[in-house]
């Protein structure tokens, strides 16, 4: 259960990559699959599915990680 919560939290935190829905779905699936692979080999597919779903349904304005570190304003 703790691994599922960790995967879901990481996916929600990082699924906002890009502003186009296709970009968010692809990056969410990749991040979720990566976290699933770290959690255990069986978690790759569920992690990718959860990541893609979060990327698809989370609008980019709801997930804002701020300016990148390398931007010096």
14-55 pLDDT, tens per residue? 544 566 778 778 888 888 888 888 877 788 888 888 888 888
48 lies in which domain range?
A: 2-60
What local confidence, expressed as pLDDT, does residue 18 receive? 64
What local confidence, expressed as pLDDT, does residue 43 receive? 82
Would you say residue 50 lies in a domain?
yes
What local confidence, expressed as pLDDT, does residue 24 receive? 79
pTM: 0.58
Would you say residue 66 lies in a domain?
no
Domain count, the chain: 1
Nearest to 45 by CA among 30, 56, 58: 30
Angle of the 21-39 helix axis to the 2-14 helix axis, nearest 10 = 150
Would you say residue 69 lies in a domain?
no
What local confidence, expressed as pLDDT, does residue 59 receive? 78
Would you say residue 26 lies in a domain?
yes
Computed from CA positions of residues 23, 54, 42, 36, in that sequence, does the dihedral angle turn out positive or negative?
A: positive
Would you say residue 6 lies in a domain?
yes
């Amino acid at each position: 259960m703790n691994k599922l919560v960790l995967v879901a939290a990481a996916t929600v935190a990082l699924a906002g990559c890009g502003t186009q829905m296709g970009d968010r779905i692809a990056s969410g699936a990749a991040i979720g699959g990566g976290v699933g692979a770290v959690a255990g080999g069986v978690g790759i597919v569920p992690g990718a599915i959860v990541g893609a779903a979060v990327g698809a349904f989370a609008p980019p304005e709801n997930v804002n990680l701020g300016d990148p570190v390398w931007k010096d304003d």
